[in-house]
Structure 1
Amino acid sequence: MDLVIYSALALIYLFLVVRIAAQLSAKRQWLNYAIFQIFVLFSLAYDNGIIAAGRFIGEGELLKGLSGVRFWLHAFATPTLILVGYYILRSSQVKFSKHIITHIAAWLTTVSLIIYQIVSSTLQEVKSLIPIEEYEVLRYTSESLAGPPFMVIIVGFLLLLIGIIVLVKQKWVWLFVGTLLLFVGQALQIPVASTAVTNIFELILMVSIWITTSKALDSQRP
């Protein structure tokens, strides 16, 4: 079952990459912070795709190297969701989001979390990759993994906070719902023989972010 789920997730993420790229191109918004969604979606497509392809690539240095890229993409891409959140906040016409200090804070937080993730986790993770075969997939995971990292928790908390603000301000409910479901999904012990099921909650979050940024794009004056 996991092979099917990981493969499906990779294809859906790639579809979203193309869809959002076309959307931004049509509106001539390539310099918009919403573009960071594409980076995150590509990293998730790669992550799920490499796991799905693991059995076909086979255990060895090639799969190990490709798997190491998964951790690097995670470190660089995930924190940029804060910049997407900043764009959503600014588009919702919240007053404090217009201040330069908010813009600077968004960038400082993003860069700080990237550096923190690399130093505290990624460098060690890519050095301690071990092969694991379970539920129809072969993947390399890190021996040093120990639950949800601090970086992911901070990004999730900020997106939840932004989701609450835009829900109150603009009645845009999807970001709040998507982030809340991510936290619930990560906390629940789902009684299914799978390591891929929880990844579905990441997809729900990314779809909720896409819907919200689409509303933000539509709200902009021509």
Structure 2
Amino acid sequence: MTNILSVIHPFCHLSYILVEWVLLVWSIQLWRKSNSIAMIVLPILLVCSSYDNFVLLVGSLLGEGKLLESLSMLRFLAHYIVVPLFIVIVVELAHRAGADWAGSRFVRVLGWVLAIGLGIYDVATQFVGLELVPETFAGMLRYVAAQPNQLPIITILVNLFVMIIGIGIWRRLKWSWLFVGALVSLIGNAIPTDLVGTVLASGSELILALCMLLTEQRTQYMMAMLKLSTESQQSQLNLQTY
């Protein structure tokens, strides 16, 4: 079983990296069609996530030492900073889906303030004074927090927030995938990595990013259909008037 896991885990992290760069290209393409702020922020998360998976993938190749420890410290810092940005993305998706509460500039700015505030809080409470120790799971060497018995509270709260907004988008667009992605991410991040390794948490965040892209694509499709319907009605009105 250990030999099988030692093959599966590196393969999964390598696959995650490749998929994340595909999603990165896709997000840029969606941004070019809509100039959506969500599709500007999401690539940042995808780059950080691919870096996270890269460090996990090459840990055993680099071996214990300052280099891997430094790369791992940056991995933790990036995670604490960028995860709250999911709030910004989902507020923008709600705005583009036509949710009344997300239509005001105040709410959208508030989303940024909340995300930055949670990021600062996480860095201050989790990263400052962080001590890392080497750990091997399924043949993969990584550095972990010396005192890992703390739930990722901010990550869980962010996923709950996304789930709530996902329910609203589900009702509005008849599109459940954002809610499903947030639920998968919540479950994946709630399972301790010292029991199952990093594959579930990394994979669940990838699924959430994919569901956000699918939601943006769905929104663009609905907006295009609405525009087409409006133009058709206007053409019919013009013919009747003529």
Residue number among 127, 139, 164 corresponding to 1:122 in the alignment: 127
From the superposition, tell whether residues 56 and 40 of structure 1 become closer, same or farther in structure 2 (CA, over 3 Å).
same
From the superposition, tell whether residues 193 and 177 of structure 1 become closer, same or farther in structure 2 (CA, over 3 Å).
closer
Write the letter of the residue equivalent to 1:17. L
Please say which structure displays the higher CA radius of gyration: 2
Q: Distance in 1 between matches of 2:110 and 2:30?
A: 28
Report the CA distance between 1:173 and its aligned residue: 1.0
Q: Which residue of 2 aligns with 1:39?
A: 44
**What are the equivalent positions in structure 2 for 1:27-106 lying under 5 Å apart?**
27=33, 29=35, 32-106=37-111
Classify the secondary structure of the residue corresponding to 1:5: helix
Q: Distance in 2 between matches of 1:132 and 1:173?
A: 38
Residue number among 195, 204, 209 corresponding to 1:206 in the alignment: 209
When the two structures are aligned, how many residues end up with a matched partner? 217
CA contact (8 A) 1:13 1:45 kept: yes
Classify the secondary structure of the residue corresponding to 2:208: helix
Write the letter of the residue equivalent to 1:182. S
Q: Distance in 2 between matches of 1:94 and 1:196?
A: 34
Classify the secondary structure of the residue corresponding to 2:84: helix
Report the CA distance between 1:160 and its aligned residue: 0.4
Q: Write out per-residue CA displacement over residues 50-78 of structure 1, whole angstroms, 9 at most, x where no aligned residue.
A: 11011112211111111111011112211
Is 1:177 paired with 2:180? Answer: yes
Q: Distance in 2 between matches of 1:188 and 1:144?
A: 16
Classify the secondary structure of the residue corresponding to 1:124: coil
Q: Distance in 1 between matches of 2:20 and 2:176?
A: 22
CA contact (8 A) 1:135 1:193 kept: no
Q: Which residue of 1 aligns with 2:235?
A: none
Q: Which residue of 1 aligns with 2:5?
A: none
TM-score, normalised via structure 2 length: 0.81
Write the letter of the residue equivalent to 2:107. T
CA contact (8 A) 2:160 2:186 kept: no
Q: Distance in 1 between matches of 2:153 and 2:182?
A: 16
Report the CA distance between 1:187 and its aligned residue: 4.7
Report the CA distance between 1:16 and its aligned residue: 1.2
Is there any run of 5+ residues in structure 2 with no aligned partner, and where?
A: 1-7, 228-242
- Higher RCO (CA 8 Å, separation ≥ 6 residues): 1
Report the CA distance between 1:194 and its aligned residue: 4.5
Q: Distance in 2 between matches of 1:185 and 1:107?
A: 25
TM-score, normalised via structure 1 length: 0.88
Write the letter of the residue equivalent to 2:125. S
**What are the equivalent positions in structure 2 for 1:178-193 lying under 5 Å apart?**
178-187=181-190
Is 1:137 paired with 2:144? Answer: no
CA contact (8 A) 2:156 2:189 kept: no
Is 1:8 paired with 2:15? Answer: yes
Is 1:109 paired with 2:114? Answer: yes
Report which stretch shifted further, 116-125 or 161-170: 116-125
Write the letter of the residue equivalent to 1:46. Y
Report the CA distance between 1:193 and its aligned residue: 6.0
Q: Distance in 2 between matches of 1:110 and 1:48?
A: 23
Q: Write out per-residue CA displacement over residues 144-184 of structure 1, whole angstroms, 9 at most, x where no aligned residue.
A: 33343221122111100110001111112110111112223
Is there any run of 5+ residues in structure 1 with no aligned partner, and where?
A: none
Write the letter of the residue equivalent to 1:160. M
CA contact (8 A) 2:38 2:89 kept: yes
Note the aligned Cα RMSD (angstroms). Answer: 2.2
